[in-house]
Structure 1
Amino acid sequence: MEEQQQVEVEVEVPSYFVCPISLQIMRDPVTLPTGITYDRDGIERWLLTAGTCPLTKQPVPPDCDPTPNHTLRRLIQSWCALHADHGVDLVPTPKPPADRARVADLVSRLRAATSSAALLDALRELRDVAAESERNRKLLAAVPGAVDVLAAVVVASCRDAKAACDEALEIVCSLELSERCLARLVERNEELVDALVATLQRTNTTSRAHAALLLEAVTAVMPSNRLVSLPEEVFGEAVQLLRDRVSSPATRAALHVLVGTTSWGRNRVKAVDAGAVAVLVDMLLDGPVERRGCELALAALDRMCGCAEGRAALVSHGAGVAVVGRKVLRVSEVASEKAVRVLRSVARHAATAAVVQEMGQTGAVEKLCVVAQSEQCGERTRERARETLRLHARAWRNSPCLQPHLQALYPSC
């Protein structure tokens, strides 16, 4: 930083060498149709979120390819070389960016590959192109059939040619695919889920994380008739990801899979049989969990407590009721809502005398009393809390576990 300040004092940089976005010397100047020149990296990032020229505010077409300003680049390179003795960094000649033709050619090579070596070479070159910039990733996603070809590689190589599978997964996960594109992917590749499960069963943590992210994406757009027939292995591997804590993105993806697929009763049972309830409780119990992760874990528990097996698993866990009660009013409004729903399910459908006593002793009843009066929660959550308290008012209203001021606030039957 100090060197840059010294250079600015000693050498005056011509204003037309400076990018209007970054205010730094341009390394790869490109010109928009509006006539304004920017550094390629800066303007490409800008155009990802804004469809206008930063200076003129004129609209820029979504498919606009800024024109390289070679003359200006050579002037900048010459000026930097002339002032190198003053600490000015030399500007190398930039690598030509990928164009649509090159990306399409790489996809064609994937289709035509007749050997593992040729397939790997094309995949690695395509991976490098995609890693260069968001622009390149958009170009790749826009090539007709490109995502289908990559998915086909994943399916065909998930068990034997694992290196090719890993490369294809990495590329697909780097793309921002629309729901429509993902839905087509699911429709055209019926074996994709099985391939992702096979990848999740491996020991390569990076590949498992990529498989988890893609599994989350495809299950989010999967039609209900496909969701209800998901194999048990999907739930087993999602739960294993939570146990192994491969990475934060993989953990969030596994939670999203559990939440998104357990709206149907049979899937809830599959998840419970895979040990999801115990793992989720341990996850909430073991230590600090980011807010979104806590919300998703409680949402998954809420789903699973919609079946008898899920409720039984929760109350049989030594800390199940206690940890859910503890999250009320401590994380977020969403987390409190989900936790109250779980406690209501338990109180309505799994409330043995021992469970009713446990809810009082662990502080869950106190939390419900506070929620019933709290403005921090929505009206529906407050009403659920009041409804739960009324279910067992005889046991809880005058319980020595409930502080006197909360007994006074206890809702009437």
Structure 2
Amino acid sequence: MKDPVTAISGITYDRESIERWLFKSSTNNTICPVTKQPLPRDSDLTPNHTLRRLIQAWCSVNATNGVDRIPTPKPPLSKFHVINLIRDLYVPDLQMKTLQKLEALAAENERNRVFMVEAGLIKALVSFIVSCYENSEKKGVEEALSLFYLVNRTSIGQSTGILTENEKIIIESLIWVLDCFHGNVVVKTHAMCLMKVLIQKANPRLLERLNPEFFRIILSNLRPESGISQQGIVSLLHILLDTCPWGRNGVVLVELGAIFDLIELELRNRPPEKKTTELVLGILYHLCSCADGRAQLLNHTAGIAVVTRRILKVSSMADERAIFIIWLISKYCGTNGVLEEMVRVGTVAKLCMVMQANCGVHLKEKAKEILRTHSDVWKDSPCSEAATLTSSSDFLVFAVFHLAFNI
């Protein structure tokens, strides 16, 4: 122990250890580890000075054996001090120093980050960034976004009030950041992280009124020249998936060439990163629900191939989204040319493998529906063995499954 404290249950712990137990956001423990009595996070942890003096004495006696004297512990951060620091964020002359102080405190431990979120730091940071946007002032934006990124995990489930009636201007502010800091990958990644949180909580009416410029800047950051990090890409894909179903957003995305950008992104995603692939396929499914979206996917030489390759390779969610994309294409765009391409790139083989794999019943039914619908074309393919195909769906599946291992 370096800083022994006694909880209200009467048990003494090292401060760092018990605070990690109480304030770790993923566990949310509120009991004493020893007595199992209730131990609220805001309960007092009383310094055990007697035990600390004994520890120091032991360290002194054993100094010749290489034992260092433990340093005097810093007083724990109080909520009152956090509130005062947050107030200083609204004072122009104190903003930069305050951001630096808050970031240093947030980096120390989870307890400090919890106090900051509970004191309203998230809302204050968002207000600060909006103010920078309105004044076209970049100073402090990087520090504010870095601080948000640091406390973001702590804020999950506690930041429902970060959006106000000015949510539109908040999103405009973050688009401004992405456009102005185009060469700063760190700032853009942090801005995208905040944007993702905001979009997830935004009013649906706002999402229906997003302008094309919003999507143009989002898509431009998916391209390799943006240099964006993998985490930033995942945040952007979350944003697209959450916004594309609303209003005309899907149409706007197709008009801006989103499907080409998504296919190119997935082609660069080697080996496939699970979350990226699931998000890309989810967006493609929404965009392929319209005729222009399906046409754009087919116009990309690797459109069908890249969707096909992800079946049975990534996750059950990816399988579902990929098979439904193939179903949309085969149902509404099932020309001979498209169907022959499905044979050539292995789509038919994959659908047959789905029939034999450990997949959901609904996916097997979708695969069977696609195979049955286009059996007349596929049985005449030079890659198939026509003699083995019959009108019976069961024999058809068996025959095409046999074909799958010969492609």
Letter in 2 for 1:338: R
Q: Which amino acid aligns with 1:374?
A: Q
Match of 2:105 in 1: 129
CA distance in 1, matches of 2:161, 2:81: 27
Whether the 8 Å CA contact 1:183–1:221 is kept in 2: the answer is: no
CA deviation after TM superposition for structure 1 residue 212, in Å = 0.5
1:188 deviation in Å? 4.3
Structure 1 residues 92 and 107 mapped into 2: Cα distance closer, same or farther (>3 Å)? Answer: same
Question: Which residue number corresponds to residue 142 of structure 1?
Answer: 118
- The answer to whether 1:67 aligns with 2:46 is yes
Q: 1:80 maps to which residue?
A: 59
Which residue of the partner structure matches residue 153 of structure 1? 128
AA aligned to 1:390 is R
Q: What residue is the counterpart of 2:210 in the other structure?
A: 230
Amino acid at match of 2:171: V
Give yes or no for contact 1:340–1:384 (8 Å, CA) kept in 2. yes
Q: What is the CA-CA distance between 1:403 and the residue it aligns to? A: 6.5
* 1:41-60 correspondence to structure 2 within 5 Å: 41-47=16-22, 48=24, 49=27, 50-60=29-39
* Change in CA separation of 1:87 and 1:356 when aligned onto 2, cut-off 3 Å: same
Alpha-carbon distance in structure 2 between the residues aligned to 1:386 and 1:317: 26
What secondary structure sits across from 1:30 in the alignment?
strand
Equivalent residue number for residue 314 of structure 1: 297
Do the aligned residues in 1 keep the contact of 2:5 with 2:12 (CA within 8 Å)?
A: yes
2:405 is aligned to none
- Distance, in Å, in 2 between the alignment partners of 1:186 and 1:232 is 23
C-alpha distance in 2 between matches for 1:300 and 1:219: 15
1:190 paired residue among 159, 168, 171: 168
CA distance in 1, matches of 2:388, 2:165: 55
Number of the residue aligned with 2:234: 252
SS at match of 1:190: helix
Relative distance call for 1:125 and 1:180 in structure 2 (3 A) is closer
Does structure 2 conserve the Cα–Cα contact (< 8 Å) formed by 1:369 and 1:409? Answer: no
- Alignment-mate amino acid for residue 337 of structure 2: A
Gap runs ≥5 in structure 1: 1-25
State the shift of 1:225 in Å: 0.8
- Give me the CA root mean square deviation: 2.3
- Identical-residue share of aligned pairs (%): 38
Report deviation, 1:390: 2.9
The alignment covers a number of residue pairs equal to 382
Q: Which amino acid aligns with 1:410?
A: V
User: What is the aligned counterpart of 2:75 among 96, 119, 127?
Assistant: 96
2:7 counterpart residue number:
32
CA distance in structure 1 between the aligned counterparts of 2:264 and 2:98, rounded to whole angstroms: 44
Question: Given the two structures, how large is their TM-score scaled by the length of structure 2?
Answer: 0.87
Alignment-mate amino acid for residue 226 of structure 1: L
2:244 counterpart residue number: 262
Aligned pairs for 1:211-230 within 5 A: 211-230=191-210
Corresponding position of 1:338 = 321
In 2 relative to 1, CA 266–183 (structure 1 residues): closer, same or farther, beyond 3 Å? farther
Could you tell which deviates more after superposition, 402-411 or 153-162? Answer: 402-411
1:218 partner amino acid: L
Match of residue 332 from structure 2: 349
1:328 Cα deviation from its structure 2 partner: 0.7
CA distance in 2, matches of 1:95, 1:358: 68
Matches within 5 A, 1:265-344: 266-286=248-268, 287-344=270-327
CA contact (8 A) 2:310 2:319 kept: yes
Structure 2: distance between partners of 1:262 and 1:242: 16
Q: Describe the shift of the 1:329–1:30 C-alpha distance in structure 2 as closer, same or farther (beyond 3 A).
A: same
Q: In structure 1, how many angstroms separate the alpha carbons of the residues matched to 2:388 and 2:190? A: 49
Structure 1 counterpart of 2:148: 172
Q: Partners of 1:366 and 1:278 in 2: how far apart?
A: 25
Q: Deviation per CA, 1:74-129, whole angstroms, max 9, x where unpaired? A: 33233223312212233111222211010001011112x133xx211111111212
Q: 1:30 deviation in Å? A: 1.7
Closer, same or farther in 2 for the Cα pair 1:120/1:184, shift >3 Å? Answer: closer
Within the candidate set 173, 184, 188, 1:204 is matched to: 184
Secondary structure class of the residue paired with 1:162: coil
Contact 1:183 1:222 in 2 (8 A): no
* Equivalence for 1:374: 356
Counterpart residue type for residue 198 of structure 1: W
Q: Is the 8 A contact 2:117 2:159 kept in 1?
A: no
Change (3 A) 1:32 1:177: same
Q: CA deviation at 1:207?
A: 0.9
1:387 aligns with 2:369: yes
Gaps of 5+ in 2: 390-394, 400-407
Q: Name the CA shift for 1:379/1:82 in 2 (closer, same or farther; >3 Å).
A: same
Alignment map for 1:110-125 (pairs within 5 Å): 110-111=89-90, 113-115=91-93, 118-125=94-101
Deviation at 1:178, TM superposition (A): 4.5
Change (3 A) 1:331 1:120: same
Deviation at 1:60, TM superposition (A): 0.6
The 2-side partners of 1:403 and 1:125 are apart by 73
Hey, what's the Cα distance between the residues in 1 that align with 2:387 and 2:233?
41
Distance in 2 (CA, whole Å) between partners of 1:232 and 1:78 is 68
The one-character-per-residue Cα deviations of 1:135-184 (angstroms, maximum 9, x if unpaired) are 111111111x4332211111111473323122222222323334573455
Structure 1's 187 and 133: CA in aligned 2 closer, same or farther, altered over 3 A? farther
